């Protein structure tokens, strides 16, 4: 394999004394960097080296890119008034804007937030002020995937209800914050509601069966939008509800394990039965383990394979299509991935240090262990779009390396990453293959930030 740097582009020179480092962000499309800086008592945004207006305050937690990476927005304050700034343009000034309420639609075209004026709250969507209510649940606004619908929970008196594109739905005693979930096709909406002691899911304005509670308000639609799953609590046990039907009761069910295959035909999750853990795939119970690794099970993109991590006697096994194929001291959470053509599999494993030696990380690609490192950066193990190449960022002592097909490459003082939630999913920004299957990432040289593009042959 031959690799070469074909581009090294200076993105910005950063005033290290002025910038607030924890606000540094890389856009989801890896084309823009932004951060908040301080000038005396004033704050300002810097986007690709260009400084914005000075303000008395900029909400660091509000500083966000749109999902398409084309817009940067934040809440600012001047003269005791608050306003939203999108790509440098100020919105209307208000007495208060709800913390953490600023959000974009998934296509990045629309922006919305919650305003508090006197004793009332109202949504501002695309600059338009909506109806005033006593409160808006947790100040959260939820866009549909196509960006055409927006929903939120409103409170009026002692009742609450969902508002969708200005239409008020059925009133209930309570509606769970964070439960509003649109289907992938944007046509369906589900949420968790309470009436008296009854807890139930409302799907397409129809109430489903009541349970003691719905676990963590996690409602999961299938990719084709036809199916819905969630975890219901009944007494001291819990069951998966799939297509309105209750599954077998278990002691507990891992809330992050519910997963549909990409064709929506298959379904899997991890559960605790007595003192043993197991994975259930298409209703069939698999081998018992001491534990199941976080972020698993997963389906391959072609829907034919199932992989997960099983734990026995403090050791971790890769389980692929019901076969125990590899054992390690540990397999790190959320690192197990398939290539896009489903022919390859990779993950990050841990070799635990003995006596006074440190734990070591290494990537396992197609069953082959890579070189051990002090650390492998979260979310960086990836396949190229054509499934041929692999890459990740590793640290050895004080130096960082970009590993491509297990080739170590140059040593850097720092390789820059940011982590964000885009369309409600965790995303690592600043490290990716482009459509030409070249790898792009960011490095610092002193106070200068560069974007690097490597070509692999």
Strands (DSSP E) along 70-221, which ranges?
72-78, 81-86, 89-90, 103-104, 111-117, 120-125, 128-129, 135-136, 142-143, 150-156, 159-164, 167-168, 174-175, 181-182, 189-195, 198-203, 206-207, 213-214, 220-221
| pLDDT given for residue 298 in this prediction | 98
pLDDT in tens, 257-272: 999 999 999 999 999 9
Whether residue 456 is predicted with pLDDT greater than 80 in this model: the reply is yes
Whether residue 218 is predicted with pLDDT greater than 80 in this model: the reply is yes
What is the model's pTM?
Answer: 0.92
pLDDT in tens, 169-187: 999 999 998 899 999 999 9
Instruction: Please report the DSSP string for 23-49 in residue order.
Output: EEEE-TTSS-EEEEEEETTEEEEEETT
Instruction: Tell me the mean pLDDT in the region 144-172.
Output: 96
Q: Residue 333: name the closest of 314, 315, 349, 353 by CA.
A: 349
Q: Report whether 317 contacts 327 (CB < 8 A).
A: yes
**Choice among 137-141, 331-335, 388-392 with the minimum mean pLDDT:** 137-141
Say how far apart CA 304 and CA 297 lie, in whole Å: 13
Which pair of structure tokens corresponds to residue 220?
């999961």
pLDDT in tens, 387-402: 999 999 999 999 999 9
Which pair of structure tokens corresponds to residue 414?
């720092």
**Choice among 127-136, 138-147, 233-242, 361-370 with the minimum mean pLDDT:** 138-147
| pLDDT given for residue 182 in this prediction | 97
Whether residue 423 is predicted with pLDDT greater than 60 in this model: the reply is no
């Amino acid at each position: 394999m031959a690799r070469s740097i074909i581009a090294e582009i200076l993105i910005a020179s950063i005033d290290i004394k002025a910038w607030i480092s924890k606000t540094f962000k890389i856009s989801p499309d890896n084309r823009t960097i932004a951060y908040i800086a301080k000038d005396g008592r004033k704050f300002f945004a810097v986007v690709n080296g260009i400084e914005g207006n000075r303000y008395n305050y900029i909400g660091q937690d509000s500083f966000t890119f749109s999902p398409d990476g084309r817009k940067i927005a934040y809440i600012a304050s001047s003269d005791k008034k608050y306003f939203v700034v999108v790509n440098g343009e100020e919105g209307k000034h208000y007495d208060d804007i709800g913390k953490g309420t600023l959000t974009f639609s998934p296509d990045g075209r629309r922006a919305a937030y919650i305003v508090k004026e006197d004793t009332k709250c109202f949504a501002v969507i695309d600059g338009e002020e909506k109806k005033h209510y006593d409160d808006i649940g947790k100040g959260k606004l939820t866009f549909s995937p196509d960006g055409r619908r927006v929903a939120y929970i409103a409170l009026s008196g002692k009742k609450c209800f969902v508002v969708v594109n200005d239409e008020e739905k059925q009133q209930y005693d309570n509606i769970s914050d964070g439960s509003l979930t649109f289907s992938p096709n944007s046509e369906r909406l589900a949420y968790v509601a309470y009436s008296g002691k009854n807890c139930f899911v409302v799907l397409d304005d129809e109430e489903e069966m009541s349970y003691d509670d719905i676990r963590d308000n996690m409602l999961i639609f299938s990719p084709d939008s036809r199916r819905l799953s969630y975890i219901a609590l009944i007494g001291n046990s819990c069951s998966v509800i799939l297509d309105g039907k209750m599954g077998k009761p278990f002691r507990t069910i891992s809330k992050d394990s519910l997963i549909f295959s990409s064709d929506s035909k298959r379904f899997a999750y991890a559960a605790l039965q007595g003192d043993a853990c197991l994975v259930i795939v298409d209703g069939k119970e698999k081998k018992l383990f001491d534990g199941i690794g976080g972020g698993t099970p997963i389906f391959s993109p072609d829907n034919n394979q199932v992989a997960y991590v099983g734990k026995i006697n403090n050791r971790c096994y890769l389980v692929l299509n019901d076969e125990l194929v590899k054992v390690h001291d540990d397999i790190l959470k959320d690192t197990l991935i398939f290539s896009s053509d489903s022919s390859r599999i990779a993950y990050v494993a841990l070799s635990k240090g003995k006596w006074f030696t440190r734990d070591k990380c290494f990537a396992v690609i197609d069953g082959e262990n890579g070189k051990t490192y002090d650390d492998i950066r979260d979310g960086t193990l990836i396949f190229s779009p054509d499934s041929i190449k692999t890459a990740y960022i590793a640290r050895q002592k004080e130096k960082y390396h970009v590993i491509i097909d297990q080739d170590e490459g140059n040593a850097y003082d720092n390789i820059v990453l940011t982590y964000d939630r885009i369309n409600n999913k965790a995303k690592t920004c600043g490290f990716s293959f482009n459509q030409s299957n070249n790898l792009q990432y960011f490095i610092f040289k002193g106070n200068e930030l560069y974007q690097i593009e490597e070509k692999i042959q």
